[in-house]
Amino acid sequence: MSKEHRPLLMRANRLLGAALVEHNLVKIEDLETANEKLIELVGAGQPRQCTILGILAYDLKVLKEDDMLHHIVETDGVGLVDLREYEVPDDAKKYIDVDACWATWSIPFDREEEFFFVATAYYLSPAVRSYWEKQLGGPVLWFGTTLETIADYLEKLAVPHASVEPVAPPKAPAAPANPAAAVSAPAPAAAK
In a domain, 97, yes or no: yes
> Of 112, 116, 146, 111, whose CA–CA distance to 129 is shortest?
116
Domain count, the chain: 1
Q: Residues of 79-115 as b/e, b for ≥16 C-beta within 10 angstroms?
A: eebebeeeebeeebeebbebbbbbbbbbbbbbbeeee
User: In the sheet that 115-120 helps form, which strands lie side by side, from edge to edge?
Assistant: 79-80, 140-144, 115-120, 106-112
In a domain, 139, yes or no: yes
CA distance linking residue 19 with residue 154, whole number of Å: 25
> Of 107, 137, 139, 141, whose CA–CA distance to 122 is shortest?
107
Task: Give the mean pLDDT of the chain.
Answer: 83
Q: Is the pLDDT of residue 68 over 60?
A: yes
What is the span of the domain harbouring residue 59? 3-158
Query: What are the distances in angstroms from CA 108 to CA 21, 88, 122, 142?
Result: 27, 9, 13, 9
In a domain, 61, yes or no: yes
CA distance linking residue 185 with residue 174, whole number of Å: 19
Choose the weakest-confidence range: 17-31, 90-104, 167-181: 167-181
In a domain, 187, yes or no: no
Residue ranges of alpha helices (H) inside 46-190 are 52-54, 65-76, 90-93, 98-104, 126-136, 147-158
In a domain, 185, yes or no: no
What is the pairing mode between strands 106-112 and 140-144?
unpaired
Exposed, middle or buried by CB within 10 Å (0-12, 13-18, 19+), for 53? buried
CA distance linking residue 57 with residue 16, whole number of Å: 13
pLDDT band at 95 (very low <50, low <70, confident <90, very high): confident
Q: Is the pLDDT of residue 94 over 60?
A: yes
In a domain, 184, yes or no: no
- More confident call, 46 vs 164: 46
pTM of the model: 0.78
Nearest-5° Cα angle at 42, 96 to 80: 45
In a domain, 55, yes or no: yes
In a domain, 192, yes or no: no
Q: Is the pLDDT of residue 178 over 90?
A: no
Question: Could you read off the pLDDT of 125-167 as tens digits, one per residue?
Answer: 999 999 999 999 989 999 999 999 999 988 887 754 433 333 3
CA distance linking residue 35 with residue 61, whole number of Å: 14
